Homo-oligomer: A and B are copies of this chain.
Amino acid sequence: MANIKDIARHAGVSVATVSRALSNPAIVRPKTIEKIEAAIAELNYERNHLAAGLRRQRSDNVIVAVPSIYNPFTSAFVQGIENVARANNMRVLLGITEGDVSTLNSYISMIAGKQADGMILLENNLPDVVRNPPTTGTIPPIVAACEYPPELDLPRVTIDNVEAGALVVSHLRELGHTRIACITGPMAQQMSKDRSAGYKLGLMRARIEFDPALVEEGEFSLQSGYDAMIRLLDSGVKFTAVACASDETALGVMSALQHRGISVPGDVSVAGFDDLRFGAFASPPLTTIHVPTAEIGETAMRLMLDRLLQQDQTAREVTLPHRLIVRESTAAPRS
């Protein structure tokens, strides 16, 4: 494999000039550039990223930490990150944690090891460096793309999960529902807490009293939505609508209802959250909150670039807009 020295020799210039031609062509004479380009083409030269990185102390990689990539929500988010990264000559390193904090910590140490320049988090866990920042030394570039305990001030990008949750309830209330159940996400996660808080806020605004019997905890998954609905039905409590913490949950809920011969939205209205494309093609098509997943990823990556390139240390927080999408899974209750 040809290296920069070979190119220099071949083009009759110094290595320094070749390096400049590569990274800052503006400051080298066009004729020289031509010679160099010819040599590069002829010798099939490719710049060694490892050597350049060693010298510059940058890897041009961002590591993206997610518990799993096997769900459309996460993967849309990652795709958004990749788009912006690619456009800025950076690469995305996949860091799947499976919810394990020590795995997450090991990914963080890759930053000190120069395998990555920073980390974007879409995680319920937090790396130790964030919780207990080292007294000495600096904390590595981290951008959060999800809900976090408000006391931590990472640069972050989210949507207003509380307002969005309330919006769902207000929609159901307008249709005439007053017995509105809720299937939450795992309450250990901040996002679930926020969406549930939105549910309660919505009830309050609608002057409906909160009834704990109407709430079941799920895990954002199809199966957990299914199971939670079965529990709710078996408990005998009465309701005419269900607000779900995610579209997957809602799809599982609808499946359970249909298995029990309960019609949606005839007997029970169902609303989701996330706007997965599978929701639009469910039967009936799912009413949901649209979350700009890919844009969240794109914005997170831009925040990372800011942090990396300009020493823009101000912890910025971006809140992206959500919106209600009304489809056929919600309707007025039977009178």
Of the listed stretches A49-57, A204-212, A298-306, name the one at the interface; the rest are far from the partner chain: A49-57
- Are B72's CB and A79's CB within 8 A? no
A47 proximity list for chain B (CB < 8 A): 113
Shortest C-beta distance, A272 to chain B (Å), equals 13
A93 proximity list for chain B (CB < 8 A): 61, 91-94
Question: How would residues 89 to 102 of chain A score, 1 for a CB under 8 Å from any chain B CB and 0 otherwise?
Answer: 00111101000000
Of the listed stretches A5-13, A277-285, A310-318, name the one at the interface; the rest are far from the partner chain: A277-285
Partner of A70, one of B54, B68, B75: B75
Task: State in angstroms the CA–CA spacing of A69 and B82 once bound together.
Answer: 10
Q: Is A268 an interface residue (CB 8 A)?
A: no
How many A residues touch the partner, as a band?
35 or more
- Are B54's CB and A281's CB within 8 A? no
Q: Is A114 an interface residue (CB 8 A)?
A: yes
- Are B49's CB and A51's CB within 8 A? no
- Are A222's CB and B94's CB within 8 A? no
Task: State in angstroms the CA–CA spacing of A75 and B70 once bound together.
Answer: 5
- Are A96's CB and B110's CB within 8 A? no
Known contacts A48-B54, A93-B93, A283-B254; A277/B222 CB under 8 A: yes
Shortest C-beta distance, A77 to chain B (Å), equals 10
A109 proximity list for chain B (CB < 8 A): 46
A79 proximity list for chain B (CB < 8 A): 68-70, 96
Shortest C-beta distance, A251 to chain B (Å), equals 5
A294 proximity list for chain B (CB < 8 A): 70
A278 proximity list for chain B (CB < 8 A): 222, 251, 278
